[in-house]
Structure 1
Amino acid sequence: MYKIPLFDLNFDEKEEKAVNDVIRSKWISTGPKTLEFEEKFSKLLKTDYSVALANCTVALHLALKIVGVEKNDEVICPSLTFVATVNSVKYLDAIPVFADVISLDNLTISPEDIEAKITAKTKAIIVMHYGGFACDMESIMDIAKRHNLKVIEDACHGPLSEYNGKKLGTIGDVGCFSFFSNKNISTGEGGMLVTNSKELYDRTKLLRSHGMTSMSYERAKGHSTEYDVVESGYNYRMDDIRSAIGVVQLDKIQEDLEKRALIRKAYIDLLKSIDNIIIPFKNNLEFSSNYVMPIVLKDSTFEKRNAIRNQLGQMGIQTSVHYPAVHRFSIYKENYTELPITDYVSNNLITLPMYSKLTLDEVEYIVNSIKKVI
């Protein structure tokens, strides 16, 4: 066990009570709590439509499908992301085209490299708001408009994060969120697809549940006694047990993010005296979810980074790497391209502990430990 883990679950008796209440209601599949979760999420993000799903991977899959991505279409995406972002492209037999990040200071996808990678086969762009920090959406939406491309926002890291006054996930055609156990909002497994398009919303609801024109809860409430199947859909539903946890988590999210902002400020104040590191997004002024706390080692190597991580682990500090570069995985060898900044970051980034229960004393211990090791 680590003295300071990478993250800590923001659960208490409220989540326990919510689960028990659903079980006692005897409706545990997709039903009233899922609808409440969706409506509450839409209100927080100021978006028209939200659809709760089994996880964010299937949200990304549906997002690409509903905007019209088909076999052999090209989708420009980052490599510095969790592999699910890119796997969703392969589900449709489309072709992932990797773009580099902006810099060691800004780990989001480069608009300049996006535009350089556009071909006649390009159909969509997936952006990933790294750590809850916004991509340059103004430039990306301009590129998309000029080239008639769809934009999918992978906002897994960014619930309530903002860009020019808008919530991340609400700027492109579709936004996708994750509620995996280590995310800011956690339901164990789960995801949400958001959009301001009624057409895309209706198609998502249809595909979420086998292409059926009505779901069991709607029929149980007497809204419909029969259904048709009009498209080959999927079983991508979220159940009411997880949705009930999600409703409680949404009540906690604002306070959680405000605490994370204070923790990040403490990290930056202490880390900025270390010459050997870069703090990505150090000068960010937008409200952020602060999902992770990355640092990048200067003039370093993969071996040096791993040695430092091992020593921090021996001092009781759990760290991680967000992320191994996807374009270097064996499954994507046919799509390999040179991404020099992504390569350096993937080899030399360390993710430090970040969660709302982290104390300022613990932050000081982590930074002092880094100073000793370096």
Structure 2
Amino acid sequence: MTALPSVEKAEELLPREPRTPLSVYRTFVLPAEEAALNLAKHQNAQTRVIQARVIGYLLLYPPSPQARMMLAREISSCSGWEAVYDLGAKYIRHFIILFRKSRGKTPVPSSHPSRPSFAHDVRERLQDLQRAPLDHSSAKVSALARDNYRCMVTGRVDTPSYLSGLTSLSPGEIGGYSNCCHIFPDSLANIVPGAAGPKEQDAVTVWTILKRFGYEDICEELGFASTSANLHRLENIMTLDVIVHEQFDRMNLWFKAIDGQDNTYKVVLAPAVGGLARLVAIPEQVTFVAHRPELPLPSPKYLRIHAACCQIAHLSGAAEHLDVIFRDMEELKVLAQDGSSADVLTYALHHRWAAPV
């Protein structure tokens, strides 16, 4: 967790014209952080500090200029610090947490059918590759072909694909197990048509935030929480080694675009998992290449939103906060009588809708 920068430092990040973002940062955000810090041992003090910092860092490092202006207007309408904290809570629950997926304690590779049936299934599907696969299985097959049956980050050969004869090992290459990784989670399509329950409301809230942030095109591409939602389009899919996938889903690994170089990214690791680079041979920089030109690569725009949420989560302390909550959701049997488990209950109820499709 990192304290919000001073107004002088913020001036280097916030545009001078219009001055609304800098003004609300000075008038609302920094005082809200200070007020939360002064709560001392208050039960919710730490949570409120995180909420204020989420708002501050979202203002400083937004996924888009329109997101910054929209957030500045929301902050300026707050009537008191509690409203600022509530706004921070909203963005944690409906935006930041979108990319924090829980997959249990051990990474599990996407399952493959038996060797002969898998190879037959793949070859059959490769005869009619779709630009927008309709399900997880089709997306994995198409992404594997696009990515040359290798992890897009480590370059490790997908072992089931090798055993099925779909690819070969060059000298020095090693195998591994890869997963079909969604940038925007496929749980956004996990809604009942015509229903208006909590999971539908949560999904619609996510899409609404994206639209207000200037991403109407993403809402259209991914389905805007409708019966035609297509989270399996290849622009939303990556082939990743199971360990890389796990860290990507835990918001500990993200991709920062390098200016002037198409589909080239700096691979950013959170400080807590920095040693993973040596253990799994994660490079500092990657360039994504479509080995089948007709199949689109992951969208830079999708990756930019994921990267912004990861950066904000770690700077604000929300990442560690969510780690504790997700751990407690798995381990706690009974809620604490003093109310200290309130966050766990809130996120557990909210997270019900995000179960895998």
Per residue, is there more helix in 1 or in 2?
A: 2
Class of the TM-score when normalised by the shorter of the 2 chains = under 0.3
TM-score (norm 1): 0.21
TM-score (norm 2): 0.22
